[in-house]
Structure 1
Amino acid sequence: MTMKNKPTAHDNIKIRDFDLVPDGGIGGAVSPIEVLAAMTGPQTDFSAFDELMRRFSDEDAYDPRRDDGTFPLSRLDDALQLIIFGSYKGGGGKSTACMAFIERLMRAGRYPVVIEADPVQKEVGETFKNDKKLRVLELPLANREGMEKLAMIMARRLPLVVVNAPGGLTEPFERFGGALRLALKTYEYRFTMFWLLNSQDQVVESLNAFWEAMPSASVHPIVNLKESENHKLSDFRDYIDHEIRKRVEKQGRTLVMPFGPMAIMNQMAKRHIPFGTLCHDDAYDILAKAELHTWLTSMWKEFDRVIDFEARVS
């Protein structure tokens, strides 16, 4: 004869009895695991627990690439292009990012007009001025005259213009951006801004001020890991937790500039040699060149997240 076990006090224990932070009265609390089970159906082993922990982790983690699969890439041949690299201050990696971008364009067989607008750090202009496939101009943008000259260049309907802007470009856009706004509309240029971020909250506010002055711009912030204490994305909470990030990622992407081999990268500024050339320079050891190549290809992949460089009009 089969013996039936007598019920014990333990048989009446519910998961909610172990809810450490009840969201109702005594005995009325519902644990997250019970809610999860109701949503997903019965689960075995630790699957419910693992799913719950994953959700908790997702709430704290920020992945700028999470929705890349649904982001529509911009093309370079379906509109005239004005692409500017700007920042809140100098020395934040703006020129470095701009040079990597120009090299990515050239790798795809595209040769822009390059405007060196930074009166202090002229690495971009100095590096590419002798390349016969490019046209390199020096044009300060810190005043009304500079903005008007940029508008005059756009009046020539040049297909691809890349500008290395001076640090602290917000004020000129606010004060003298009228001519540029008119040129963008009149000549139907697509305006893309890559804005370099460090981990200071002022940089986020400067991005907000720029966007108010130039609301038609497609904005892609670039988080420069070198410009933070631990060289980690989590150092940039002022941006990650700011409302402007949500606005950015409705129309663009947050790019990440990896931390690179500074010893060899600094030679670009001293010798005015493109990164791609430095990767094959026998003056440096093979390890340093390999590290630079890894950094450069990683940076190119970040730009590939927002632009289809290879697309051509059929």
Structure 2
Amino acid sequence: MADQQTLDPDMFTKQALFTKSWHRDLYPAIDPKQFTSAVSDKVVLVTGASRNLGKYMVRSWAEAGASGIVITSRRLSDLAPVVQNLKEISPKTEVLAVAAEMTKEEDVKNLFEKIKEKFGRLDVVVANAGVVGAGSSFPRIGDISFGPEKWWGDLENNVRTAYLTAHYYITTFGPEPVGTFITMASAVGRVIMPGNSSYGISKSSTQRLVPYLHAEYPSLRAFSLDPGIVAKHDNLLEAFRPFAFDMPELSGAWTVWLSSSETSEVLRGGYVQVNWDVEELEKHKEEIGEKKLNHLGFINAHLGPEGHAWEN
């Protein structure tokens, strides 16, 4: 393996670029503060908000001046410092902290009931809660030290939390939801990384949830957001530490942008990555929308009545 000092810290980032210009930190075009007029009346839910990516994403909404912010964690005590920080950033924003285990149906149902009782509306959902679990140890399929139950844990957690969050958002605020629903994607959900099958398949599944929501509820703005290789993350895999320079504030800004920008309309139902340049996306929005360039594909062959167009 190459010495870490010789590794290009942007190596993985460059492999997934859609735009020629790219970013790993906040930049003016996506600064949440410029969207205040668009989000000042919005209520947003961010699950798993006590630490890591979640706590930074909710700050972006406070900086934008959201009307209400709902945050969840397994323990209410873990949310106390987050609530204090949000009130310091935006004293006018109402903050609702709810203890919820997002894999438990009753907890999720109660969460949305509390939101409806408190605010009467919910405009944006960021389904951030999830785990790395078995994938953090790179167990291969058939590894005797990781039985089926441990392998299944990533899917049970990540797929179930995303589904339950979507289900109770729609049943509570439907039947034709008009808000924004964002799941958290990952590169391992679209590339094959040996030893990461449990986590990779779980992220592939949550990413596939988005086009289904898009097809079944055309009024809902659904996106799958890849936060990149996030810095300041407690659960960062050691193998990725030399490449972890994507600031979590960038992901937070993207959730605000996706719910507020006209350009994001052409990205609905698809995959987006925080490194992409939003001004370049704006420039090419007609082509992106017409060809659905950010939508998930199937296989590389061209399928149809005439079969694949072979080269010879």
With the length of structure 1 as denominator, give the TM-score of the two structures: 0.44
In our comparison, the structure showing a higher alpha carbon Rg is 1
With the length of structure 2 as denominator, give the TM-score of the two structures: 0.44
